[in-house]
């Protein structure tokens, strides 16, 4: 499917539902990059029942996983954790983990990767969010 990006002016970039900047599908898992901005990348991972994702397949970055749908099992440092929609887990770049979907339905996880360049501080979440300007609401 061709990605349709709508630009209104130079500030607003809309990526419609079902579209992605790039994606990869393998062994019952579809990982899609839905947004990139400076040092932040947002992924949507859809996992079929019985599928597994390992840390090396997502990237070696500090990150936050937020469960949107389903009940995936996270295994971090040999400690299991069942998550449900609304639960999240944050991990350092050096932490090894595995996510599996033992449920009979699909799981969807939103992941925020905190990529940093060498010029940025050792606290990527602060550097990334300092770069944003406040949103003005009417």
Q: How confident is the model at residue 45 (pLDDT cuts 50, 70, 90)?
A: very high
- Indicate yes or no: pTM above 0.95: no
Name the residue with higher pLDDT: 136 or 48. 48
Please say if the pLDDT value at position 3 is more than 70: no
Give the model confidence (pLDDT) of 68-79 as tens digits.
Answer: 999 999 999 889
What percent of the chain stands above pLDDT 90?
Answer: 51
| Predicted local distance difference test score (pLDDT) of residue 65 | 96
Q: Compute the mean pLDDT over every residue in the chain, rounded to the nearest whole number.
A: 78
Domains identified in the chain and CATH numbers: 5-128 (2.60.120.10)
> For 54-83, b where at least 16 C-beta lie within 10 A, e where not — what string?
ebeebeebbbebbbeebebbbeeeeeeeeb
Average pLDDT over residues 11-33: 76
Give the model confidence (pLDDT) of 98-129 as tens digits.
Answer: 999 999 999 999 999 998 744 444 443 433 33
CA neighbor of 113 nearest in space, from 41, 10, 60:
41
For 6, list phi and psi in degrees, rounded to 5.
Answer: -105, 125
């Amino acid at each position: 499917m061709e990605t349709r990006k709508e630009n209104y002016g130079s500030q607003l970039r809309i990526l419609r539902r079902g579209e992605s900047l790039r994606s990869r599908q393998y062994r019952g898992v579809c990982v899609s990059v839905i947004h990139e901005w400076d040092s932040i990348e947002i992924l949507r991972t859809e996992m079929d029942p019985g599928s597994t994702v390992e840390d090396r397949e997502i990237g070696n970055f500090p990150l936050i996983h937020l469960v949107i749908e389903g009940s995936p099992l996270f295994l971090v440092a040999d400690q299991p954790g069942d998550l449900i929609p609304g639960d999240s887990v944050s991990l350092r770049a050096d932490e090894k983990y595995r996510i599996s979907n033992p449920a009979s339905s699909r799981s969807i996880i939103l992941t925020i990767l905190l990529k940093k360049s060498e010029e940025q501080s050792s606290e990527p979440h602060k550097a990334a969010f300092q770069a944003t300007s406040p949103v003005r609401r009417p």
